[in-house]
A and B are shown apart, each in its own frame.
Chain A
Amino acid sequence: MRPSKPAPVSRSAAYSGIPSWIYAVAIAGALLVILPLVAMLARVNWPQFLPLISSESSLAALGLSLRTSVASTVLCVCLGVPLALVLARGRFPGQQLLRAFVLLPLVLPPVVGGIALLYTFGRQGLLGGTLEVLGLQIAFSTTAVVLAQTFVALPFLVVSLEGSLRSAGGRFEAVAATLGARPTTVLRRVTLPLVLPGLVSGAVLSFARSLGEFGATLTFAGSLEGVTRTLPLEIYLQREADADAAVALSLVLVAVAVTVVGLSYRRRGFLGGTGGSGTIRETPTPALTGGSLR
């Protein structure tokens, strides 16, 4: 008899330590996400697909969704970067409380957010009177759509970026300061480039979240075609009238979301945590064996 030869072990076959039954549960979890998408794909009326998604109201909703999502992503970056910086690097009383409030929209039902926004910016709201004097009416306008989307999407950017800032540490900033760089220069030339992967992934998540926003938009901005009726609202409306159109538009939304997330994943080779720790694989974390910079 020939002596049995051990099968060649490839590097990828390294011991993983995962019990085999875990795979079964993991497959069930994956199916929960994938199966509905497949079911929806099966219901698409392919011959009528192009006419369905290129109707006037569909194109208006898609265009509005993309424009408002880009605007709210920009707003998220402008407001979220400073927030993440003070949460990750600053030290002030009430920091934990501020973090809790900033992250609240993650767990808050969007419709509640919409009501809160209405009582802030609406005509009868906290700031509504002041804004009206200035000739600004926000509720039920495109601005309201952007505000609602920013409200729900901001935590995604803050969480992702705060994680990156924490894992990057402050040692590069300390060195930059001793080299004579002012804090603003350090932020622009050191901190932001270092956490760029986390910032990009946070912005992508914010964009995706903005694109899908429904409850807060409907409550705070209403559903006015071409002004506040974004794609999710259009889909919900069409669901009653024309199921085929709703499915086709849903597919468009899925395609846009997959494209955005997929592109950023491939280019950067990372994806920030979705509401969790927000750790970024690409964040440079050089080994430090007891240096003095903190």
Chain B
Amino acid sequence: MTFTFNAAVRERNFDVSLTVGPGETVAVMGPNGAGKSTLLDLIAGLLHPDSGRSVLGGKVLFEVLDGGHTWLAPHRRGTALLAQDPLLFPHLSALENVAFGPGSSGASRTSARNTAREWLDAVEAGGLAQRRPGELSGGQAQRVAVARALAASPELLLLDEPLAALDIHAAPLLRRLLKHVLAGRSAIIITHDVLDALMLADRVIVLENGKITEEGPTRQVLQRPRSRFAAGLAGLNLLAGTVTEDGITTAEGVHFSGQHDDGLEPGQDGVAAFPPSAVSVFLSEAHGSPRNSMAVTVTDLEPHGDQIRVRAGMRGQLAADITPAAVADLGLVPGMKVYFVTKAAAVAVYPA
């Protein structure tokens, strides 16, 4: 079962092409309004593309090309959708909700209920079978919704921020559960949480302004982000520029030395990534190779664990984590001009 997708929606400036391999789980991440939900709506058949083609396991979901127009109705697609709101049918019990999918695809009442019971047990919600959605907590309802989506035996499971509406106590249980049920299953999961991507997905796609800006294995995207969005997810500072002999030069002409990847050629586009914890803050320029010193203006100070995260730069895109004592010593306030100093050894330089 392979899923291929390629679609454009002019009105939303959306143009995406992707594939999901058999048993693969792909996380789609990106800022709000990037087109993540549009992607799922197109796959589920809730939205018509202006052009494109999508095939799921030999079944054409849609084909809107110059030649013709094929469009499969949502209920024939085999793409169950799980949203951040469980959307359990309020007039049906948990068991009847889960039995809805099998019942709709022609299973007898008894066999649909048996299937539903198995799935409720699988999500540790067997004891909730007779409850109405109104009598379930948020976490319980979302577990039942997971069972309902899986009971429909979808070829491709679509998850739209399934953990976003849960409180911090309910989320870990459901995340563990999803990890279990997504193993060996083709799925696309939209998430804002880097932990979801790490735990649940084999591959990450970063979507920005309706286009894919970065994709790759989850670990690689998080360890070596190429887009500013992915760098933000990974908690890394990212500078883009042109590779030089011992580092990169940004478009503004700032030179940054760092550790090159093997085979990196001077002159090609590259990025320099370094963690905020590797950045020290000084009031005056601190020279001495191999160090990078950058004059910046502090924009924000925010707590970050037991450290203080100092944000600086034009749009606060650079961060340094220093101790509260150091903040007090330096007398840091937003608007101050300071120097962010980073050891070259902590800066990774790789192709953009």
Which residues of A line the B interface, CB within 8 A?
171-172, 174-183, 185-186, 189-190, 193-194, 196, 284, 286-294
Task: Give Cα A292 to B80, complex, Å.
Answer: 13
Determine which of B36, B80, B165 lies in contact with A289 in the assembled complex, contact meaning CB atoms within 8 Å. B165
Residue of A nearest to B81 (CB): A178
Of B83, B84, B90, B148, the residue contacting A284 (CB under 8 A) is: B90
Chain A residue at minimal CB-CB distance from B90: A284
**Shortest Cβ distance from A137 into chain B, in angstroms?**
44
Q: Is the CB of B87 within 8 A of A293?
A: yes
Pairwise interchain contact B84-A179, C-beta atoms closer than 8 A: no
Judge if B254 is at the interface, Cβ distance under 8 Å: no
Stretch at the interface among B69-77, B222-230, B320-328: B69-77
Take A180-B104, A292-B37, A292-B40 as given contacts and tell me if A172 and B87 are in contact as well, using a CB distance cutoff of 8 Å.
Answer: yes
Q: Which of B119-178 contact A (CB under 8 A)?
A: 148-149, 152, 154, 158, 160, 164-165
Task: Bits for B199-216, please: 1 = Cβ < 8 Å to A, else 0.
Answer: 000000000000000000
B118 contacts partner chain A, Cβ-Cβ < 8 Å = no
Pair A178/B75 contact, Cβ less than 8 Å? yes
Give Cα A292 to B36, complex, Å: 9
Whether the Cβ atoms of B91 and A177 lie closer than 8 Å is no
- Interface contacts beyond A174-B81, A181-B100: sample of 19 additional A-B pairs, CB < 8 Å, sorted by A: A175-B81, A177-B45, A177-B75, A178-B44, A178-B77, A179-B80, A179-B100, A180-B104, A182-B104, A183-B73, A189-B100, A193-B89, A194-B91, A290-B84, A291-B84, A291-B85, A292-B37, A292-B190, A294-B46
Within 8 A of A (CB), among B3-57: 36-37, 40-41, 44-46
In the assembled complex, the Cα of A177 lies from the Cα of B47 at a distance in Å of 13
Residues in B with CB closer than 8 Å to A196 are 91
Q: How far is the CB of B205 from chain A (nearest CB, A)?
A: 16
A291 touches B160 (CB 8 A): yes
Contact present for B81 and A286 (CB under 8 Å): no
| A-B pairs, 9 with minimum CB distance | A292-B37, A181-B104, A177-B74, A179-B101, A178-B81, A291-B83, A284-B90, A193-B91, A179-B152
Q: Is B78 an interface residue (CB 8 A)?
A: yes
Query: Is B342 at the interface (CB under 8 A from chain A)?
Result: no
- If A177-B75, A292-B160, A294-B46 touch, does A185 touch B80 (CB 8 Å cutoff)? no
Which of chain B's residues have a CB closer than 8 A to the CB of A292?
A: 36-37, 40-41, 83, 160, 190
Q: Measured between alpha carbons, how far is A186 from B89 in the docked complex, in Å?
A: 11
Contact of B75 among A182, A189, A287 (CB under 8 A): A182
Q: How far is the CA of A293 from the CA of B40 in the complex (A)?
A: 9
- Complex contacts, A284 vs chain B, CB 8 Å: 90
| Inter-chain contacts of A186 with B (CB < 8 A) | 75
Rounded to whole angstroms, the CA-CA distance of A177 and B100 in the bound complex is: 10
B111 near A: Cβ within 8 Å?
A: no
Q: Is the CB of B83 within 8 A of A175?
A: yes
Contact B160 A175, beta carbon cutoff 8 Å = no
Please measure, in the bound complex, the distance between the C-alpha atom of A181 and the C-alpha atom of B73, giving whole angstroms.
10
Query: Is B79 part of the contact surface with A, judged by Cβ < 8 Å?
Result: yes
CA distance A177 to B158 in the complex (A): 13
B114 at interface by CB-CB < 8 Å: no
Q: Contact check, B89 vs A172: say whether CB atoms are below 8 A apart.
A: yes
CB distance from B170 to the nearest CB of A (A): 15
Bound form: Cα–Cα A8–B45 in Å: 57
> A185 to chain B: which residues have CB within 8 Å?
104
B148's contact among A179, A193, A289, by CB below 8 Å, is which? Answer: A179
Cβ B83 vs Cβ A194 within 8 A: no
Q: What distance in Å separates the Cβ of B79 from its nearest Cβ neighbour in chain A?
A: 6
B220 beta carbon closer than 8 Å to chain A? no
In this assembly, does B108 line the interface, its C-beta being within 8 Å of a C-beta of chain A? no
| Nearest B residue to A289, CB-CB | B165
Nearest CB of chain A from residue B19's CB, rounded to whole Å: 21
A171-B83 Cα distance, complex, nearest whole Å: 10
Q: How far is the CA of A139 from the CA of B165 in the complex (A)?
A: 60
Most buried by B among A175, A286, A291, A293: A175
List 19 contacting pairs A-B, 8 Å CB cutoff, sorted by A. A171-B87, A172-B89, A174-B81, A175-B81, A175-B83, A176-B104, A177-B45, A177-B46, A177-B73, A178-B44, A178-B77, A178-B79, A178-B81, A179-B152, A180-B152, A286-B87, A291-B85, A292-B36, A292-B83
B26 to chain A, nearest CB (A): 16
Q: Does B268 make an interface contact (CB < 8 A)?
A: no
Cα A207 to Cα B104 with chains together (Å) = 34
Q: Give A189 to B87 CA distance when docked, in angstroms.
A: 14
From B37, B90, B100, A194 is in contact (CB under 8 Å) with B90
B83→A293 contact, CB < 8 A: yes
Interface centre among B45, B91, B158, B164 (most CB of A within 10 A): B91
Give bound CA distance, A183 to B74, whole Å.
Answer: 10
Please encode chain B, from 84 to 117, with 1 for each CB lying within 8 Å of some chain A CB and 0 for all others.
1101011110000000110011000000000000
Q: How far is the CB of A242 from chain B (nearest CB, A)?
A: 50
**A292 to B73 CA separation, bound complex (whole angstroms):** 18
